[in-house]
A and B are shown apart, each in its own frame.
Chain A
Amino acid sequence: DSGVTQTPKHLITATGQRVTLRCSPRSGDLSVYWYQQSLDQGLQFLIQYYNGEERAKGNILERFSAQQFPDLHSELNLSSLELGDSALYFCASSSDEGPYEQYFGPGTRLTVT
């Protein structure tokens, strides 16, 4: 158990809908990272927050947004969902803004039908 929690574990929704994925980092970690893992593309870095502020941005679509709250938990919002958004979404945390090891949560499996 990495100490990173993610909810929900599974999510099934329809195209065009909006969902929110939640992540709680390990106790004491200030950085949160979001990743998308699909079968054909591997792990894709989406975005990093450090102590509430955006620190780095990867290949995050404009339909996706994230934030980190004062209690350090983070949410990833996915809107106008398309079939291609079906994937595993991982959250990770680290103690500082990097380059430090990241501890990954168990993931949220999103299925868009």
Chain B
Amino acid sequence: EDQVTQSPEALRLQEGESSSLNCSYTVSGLRGLFWYRQDPGKGPEFLFTLYSAGEEKEKERLKATLTKKESFLHITAPKPEDSATYLCAVQASGNQFYFGTGTSLTVIP
């Protein structure tokens, strides 16, 4: 069964305290893995797409990596404005999309 599991469910960090979010997946024929950020009451905002194991992408304080079974979103020296829910999604070979339930990140000043 295709599925995506994210951990932890919630994470509280002090400003400047780096950490990583995990996304593990089982999917038949991975076409792509996506990271999104979602603020309360708003639509998800695209962050990264990763296509194959070993691939890495960076944007400001965020860096996403991909292995054959999981992806990590590394947050370096986070700021309060990074507080949001981070969603991981995969696209399977049949073109269906599967989202994890997200990690709610709170960065305390």
Contact = CB atoms under 8 A, between A and B. Distances in A.
A97 B96 CA distance: 11
Interface of B: 31-32, 34, 36, 41-46, 49, 51, 87, 89, 91, 94-102
The 8 A-B residue pairs with the shortest CB-CB distance in the complex, in nearest-first order: A99-B32, A104-B43, A56-B95, A43-B99, A42-B101, A45-B97, A99-B31, A101-B46
A48 interface: yes
Contacts of A8: none
Given A98-B32, A99-B91, A42 B100 contact: yes
B96 A103 contact: no
Contacts, number: 64
Contacts of A57: 96
User: Which range holds the interface residue count of chain A?
Assistant: 20 to 34
Contact of A99 (B45, B46, B51, B94): B51
A99 B48 CA distance: 12
A101 B34 contact: yes
Contact of B94 (A33, A35, A56, A103): A56
Contact of A43 (B42, B44, B91): B44
Given A42-B101, A55-B95, A58-B96, A102 B51 contact: no
